[in-house]
Structure 1
Amino acid sequence: MHPTTTLLPLPAEAPPSLTQILDEVTTVLCHILPSSLSVKSFSTRWQVLRSKLATLKSSISEVSDSLHWSESPLLQTLLPNILSTLHRVQTLCDQCSDPTFNPGKLLMQSDLDMATGWLSNQIHDLDLLLRSGVLRQTNAIVLSQPVPGSGKEDLGFFIKDLFTRLQIGGIEFKKKAMESLLQLLSDDEKSANLVAKEGNVGYLVQLLDLNSHPSLREQAVSAVSILASASDQSRKFVFEEGGLGPLLRTIESGSTGLKEKAAMAVEAITTDPDNAWAISAYGGVPILIELCRSGSTTAQSRAVGAITNVSKVEDIRTALVEEGAIPVLVQLLNSGTASTQEKAANCISILASSGEFFRALITQQDKGLQRLLQLLHESSSSDTLEHVLRAIYSLSASESISRVLSSSTTFIIRISEIIKQGSIISQHISASLLSNLSISDGNKRAVSGCMGSLVKLMESAKPDGIQEVAANALVSMLAVRSSRKELVRDEKSVMRLIQMLDPKNELVSKKFPVAVVSAVMAGGSQGCRKRLVAAGAYGVLQRLTEMEVAGAKKALQRLSGNRLKSILSRTWRA
């Protein structure tokens, strides 16, 4: 038997270093360029190839001059690919120079065109890498998240490095770069503007394409959504780079999560009126309406928000109606989330204020007005109440709706409650409704408790017009005798009226408190007169009459009429 021999494995040959590969690329280039000059066949194609080779040589020279080029992991893939392409070009050069070689004209043309395409792509990648500046940085090639508080310069370099990897790296490089980008955007909201400025938002938009790698596409949707929502500047970049169309396509065909993120971006983009018009150009109106019908609750809210934004564009409102937006919006008033209800009410208020055509469509919907009234009673959100009140106020311009609202005691009581406890905007709209509707005396008596709040609103400088609507609502309420007596028994309200009448008070237009005092004295009540005179109304009205303030003389006459009559009676008897 022969002794067993153990064979030791031969040591594996070490792969060439990046420096060796670069040297070989340079050597091959220096050989191909002059040798290609002697090629006579396919001269036009070789002329293009030589131009590409010369450009590549210049880029390679710039790479070798960069201090930290050998640390770049991107070059570890790119340089070997370039070397492989150059070897192929060298082979083609040898074949075209050999008169005995006959591969076929069409085949050689195809091979030369393919080589030109490869070189073009690799030159493009090298150019991106060089323009990013990462090869010239001492801290370049380590893809590490900047620490909190990092300066703009460090952040800017990090962002350039990320986008360089996104555009010329392999799929794993791209995924890691996207993860780092999303982390940066999530951790630091202020970084969005720098990402938009230093990065390549257009490339992110390209990744939204259906043909992109699924995981990259999902990450790109997230990144674009954050950029669109973060600031005016980053949102402008997303829109100008053509992001709206791909985002709408994502809503059409994406998963539930992608639809939600894309809808968030579209809602943000359309907050700018200069962008909102483009929804129609991209065919986005039916896409958003369908998302309202069948999307998740989150997606519905975003879609309604986008529809609300575009409803402010006059030319798009008709498209919304034609695509069936109004029934969907009315349905969402009571079936959607609180956020969706608020946005739906806002959109309906915009449409209702746009003319009788839209008001008729809203009121013709099954329970359209009833759903608004229901939400008015059920919602605790001040913003939602404001939008609902605006919608109801706009609808009340229709005579039939005005009659329904005027006869609804429940509605009248609700707006009186809002006058007492609502936000200043809601109070303003509610007071406008109270002054405009033809309310019965019985309903006026039922809500007389809000008169003190109306007097207080007359002191408000903002919003514009609130003093007038509060005064008009109060004058309407004072048509009822019991309301006049109730108001003068409220010492705080009487003192507020006297203070507003004082000529030294420049915050309130005098015509409003003058109209209220005149309304209080319209019935000639001796008790009302005594209380107003005791509070000092006679003196301030006298001064206002001397100043020729409109209505002051008439109010003074009403206030002093019974007193003069009593004096004349006593004089006659004497």
Structure 2
Amino acid sequence: MPAVTMYQYAWDLFTRLQIGGIEFKKKALESLLQLLNDNEKSTPLVAKEGNVGYLISLLEANSQPLIREQAVLAVSVLASSSEDLRKIVFEEGGLGPLLRILETGSIALKEKAAIAVEAITADPENTWAISAYGGVSVLIEACRSGSQPTQTHAVGALRNVASVEDIRMALGEEGAVPVLFQLLISGTSAAQEKAANCISILASSGEYFRALIIQEKGLPRLMHLLQDLSSSDTVEHLLRTISSLSVLDSVSRILSSSTAFIIQLGEFIKHGNLILQQISACLLSKLSISDGNKRAISSCISSLVKLMESPKPVGLQEAAAQALVSLLTVRSNRKELVRDEKSVMRLVQMLDPKNEAVSKKFPLMVVTAVLGGGSGGCRKRLTAAGANKHLQSLAEIEVAGAKKALQRLAGNRLKSIFSRTWRE
């Protein structure tokens, strides 16, 4: 249909919708829904030419049931089509009626209303209005007792609410945390991912929510789910939550002493995506892990060395280096690293002053840790790989840590032009 004709058609549909009787309205809404569903390009035209405010008025409970149902469908399509259209639906007062439908409508209407509410609250500028309509409790109840599609979109809206600091506290006060865990355990994969994301946001926001999560026995639940779930996005959110909880001494002790959890981190470092690798490396570097558990994950050492070469995401190189330094306090792990020719070559290449992809402080930290035990075998392998030349160059330009590493590499018997400088 040509654009001009579509404009006229959309205008005509809304005219019939506003001035016609019940049958006219039904037919106009049927045609409108067909237009919206058949042609994506028609949606902005409908919003521009049509009276969205009048369409929203048909969401009220006093509307004829079939007309109300079709109006909800149309508003849901409009709200979930684009940022501009959900803004129009919000500005025309759509959020309040949609929340009332989510609270009291039929199963089918609740599902469509939940889709629209999730879309509208994707904009933080709109989300604040949720509290004005008492919407937090409505969303929590929809997550608790709604159909699976309703739960999936309602928890998406809760996740959007959690992202807005001014109204986040209402989630705790209205009892969202136990409901989120309920979905995390028994919801659809999409609901699990959104619930995990929401819990992660809450856990990172402060002590209040961390206490609520612990109160719900959240830590053992999260640790168990970490092994059961396969979605990398959901696992990422779970791991972020555990990382946020680890600032608590009691949680840190539990995580540090859990061999199963430590081994899981090692697996993420070896086989996870970059984000999972980064979070896992950060956790490894912060926890007080026993030597036995450090030995149990020695197979991830080469992966950590490789991660040190990656400039993105920001912070990955540092996390990998610090995790390595922690693992290298164990003698057998130091030997494990230097036995791996590729890892040694990577480490030495990172020391090269010409290699600008890696900050020199990270490979210097690792080399110093490798040489920390005074093993002659470690010194020989690093020297054979050319570490001495790069360390001398770094020492000449006074890079922090280079002289110390060079000293250790030489076994504290270095005879060079730098000896006087060190004594001074």
Fold shared per TM-score above 0.5: yes
1:68-120 deviation line (CA, Å, top 9, x unaligned): xxxxxxxxxxxxxxxxxxxxxxxxxxxxxxxxxxxxxxxxxxxxxxxxxxxxx
Q: Distance in 2 between matches of 1:284 and 1:538?
A: 65
Give TM-score scaled by structure 1 length: 0.71
Q: Which runs of 4+ in 1 moved over 4 A?
A: 562-565
Q: Which residue of 2 aligns with 1:347?
A: 198
TM-score by length of 2: 0.96
- From 525, 536, 543, the equivalent of 2:386 is 536
Shift in alpha-carbon separation, 1:315–1:520, aligned structure 2, 3 A: same
Q: Residue 121 of structure 2 is aligned with which of 233, 255, 270?
A: 270
Aligned to 1:205: 56
State how far apart, in whole Å, the 2-side matches of 1:189 and 1:420 are: 43
Structure 1 residue 360 and structure 2 residue 360: aligned?
A: no
Distance 1:190 1:399 in 2: 55
Name the CA distance, whole Å, in 1 between partners of 2:26 and 2:346: 68
Distance 1:507 1:400, change over 3 A: same
- Confirm or deny that 1:215 pairs with 2:66: yes
Distance in 2 separating the partners of 1:543 and 1:190: 62
Matched, 1:522 2:372: yes
1:403 partnered with 2:259: no
1:422 aligned residue (272, 276, 287): 272
State the Cα distance separating 1:315 from its structure 2 match: 2.3
Map of 1:391 onto structure 2: 241
For 2:34 and 2:348, the matched residues in 1 are separated by 62
Could you say which residue in structure 2 is the equivalent of 1:22?
none
Where does residue 295 of structure 1 map in the other structure?
146
Does the 8 Å CA contact 1:417/1:450 hold for their aligned counterparts? Answer: yes
Give the stretch that moved more between structures: 258-267 or 180-189: 180-189
Paired residue for 1:313, among 149, 157, 164?
A: 164
Bigger relative contact order (CA 8 A; separation at least 6): 2
Counterparts of residues 553-564 of structure 1 (less than 5 Å): 553-561=403-411, 564=414
Residue 317 of structure 1 deviates from its aligned partner by 2.1
What is the alpha-carbon distance in structure 2 between the residues aligned to residue 185 and residue 404 of structure 1? 54
Which entry has the higher C-alpha Rg, 1 or 2? 1
Deviation digits for residues 97-147 of structure 1 (CA, Å, limit 9, x no counterpart): xxxxxxxxxxxxxxxxxxxxxxxxxxxxxxxxxxxxxxxxxxxxxxxxx3x
Q: Distance in 2 between matches of 1:241 and 1:483?
A: 64
Asked if 1:513 is matched to 2:360, the reply is no
1:256 paired to 2:107:
yes
Q: Deviations over 1:292-321 (max 9, x none)?
A: 111011111111111111011122222111
How far residue 190 of structure 1 moved from its aligned partner, in angstroms, is: 3.5
Question: After the TM superposition, which residues 364-383 of structure 1 pair with which residues of structure 2 at under 5 Å, given as runs?
Answer: 364-365=215-216, 367-383=217-233
SS of match in other structure, 2:410: helix
> What letter corresponds to residue 501 of structure 1 in structure 2?
L
2:138 maps to amino acid: I
Distance, in Å, in 2 between the alignment partners of 1:411 and 1:277 is: 38
SS of residue in 1 equivalent to 2:223: helix
RMSD: 1.2
Do the aligned residues in 2 keep the contact of 1:356 with 1:398 (CA within 8 Å)? Answer: no
1:197-219 CA distance string (max 9 Å, x none):
22111111101011111111111
| Corresponding residue to 2:86 among 204, 224, 235 | 235
Q: Quick check: 2:118–2:153 contact (8 Å CA) kept in 1?
A: yes
CA distance in 2, matches of 1:550, 1:564: 18
2:237 maps to amino acid? H
Match of 2:80, SS?
helix
Q: Which runs of 5+ in 2 are unaligned?
A: 416-424
Q: Do residues 496 (structure 1) and 346 (structure 2) align?
A: yes
Question: Partners of 1:211 and 1:242 in 2: how far apart?
Answer: 17
1:561 aligns to what SS in structure 2? coil
Query: What is the distance in 1 between the residues matched to 2:66 and 2:32?
Result: 14
Tell me how far apart the structure 1 counterparts of residues 47 and 311 of structure 2 sit (CA, whole Å).
42
Report deviation, 1:423. 1.3
- Counterpart Cα distance in 1 of 2:45 and 2:407: 70
Counterpart position of 1:455: 305
Does structure 2 retain, via aligned residues, the 8 Å contact 1:334–1:341?
yes
One-letter amino acid matched to 2:190: S
Counterpart of 2:401 in structure 1 is 551
Supply the distance in 1 between the matched residues of 2:42 and 2:379 (Cα, whole angstroms).
Answer: 67
**Contact in 2 for aligned 1:192/1:231 (Cα 8 Å):** no
> In the alignment, what sits opposite 1:158?
9
Task: Work out the CA distance in 1 between the residues paired with 2:229 and 2:202.
Answer: 21
Mapped contact 2:321–2:362 kept (Cα < 8 A): yes
Q: Which amino acid in 1 is paired with 2:228?
A: E
- 1:54-65 equivalences in 2 (<5 Å): none
Offset at 1:337? 1.3
Cα distance between partner residues in 1 of 2:241 and 2:72:
35
Deviations, residues 169-188 of structure 1 (Å, cap 9, x unaligned): 22222222211221222222
Which residue of the partner structure matches residue 418 of structure 2? none
Alpha-carbon distance in structure 2 between the residues aligned to 1:155 and 1:557: 78
**3-state DSSP of counterpart to 1:235:** helix
Displacement after TM superposition at 1:194 (Å): 2.1
What percentage of aligned pairs have identical amino acids? 72
Query: Contact 1:333–1:372 (CA<8 Å) still a contact in 2?
Result: no
